[in-house]
Structure 1
């Protein structure tokens, strides 16, 4: 069972509130949708969260992100957390990018 499924099972009210937060973030207007996805990729890469990077790379590509934008977003994490994000996420992110529609 993935984390979100577990959250819905164990705390449906919290899961619903979380969905509302995500929707509110999607609806902000300061950044376009592609840029938001790139930010998520950078944050999640810096945390070593390969599962989240997998999904956000696909969303970013659908929104027009280039391979170079994905790569550079992850490389920027070098200045924040050293090799952690690059080592854990760069190769798989670029593979996902190549396979994504």
Structure 2
């Protein structure tokens, strides 16, 4: 599950859901502001054989002052065959695959 701002990629995501398209891969990059005030990538998530199963648009209660300037959002649900998490500081990597699981 992933929450993101509604943007120019949104129509494509709806197309993938409605057509049941399989994506060969997708990459999610996570950023933070470092001590120098610069944006830096710190986590990379690579997923393979991805199917987006649901896209749900939503909006926070803009009458609540805490949310009055928030963007319109959408939540994505997806299935995938393989996922690889890579924490860049230290090059820490872990993968999981539904196809490569050993039988108990």
Q: Structure 2 length as normaliser, TM-score?
A: 0.26
Q: Which TM-score applies when normalising by structure 1?
A: 0.26
Of structures 1 and 2, the larger Rg is shown by 2
Give 1 or 2: higher strand fraction: 2
Which is richer in helix? 1
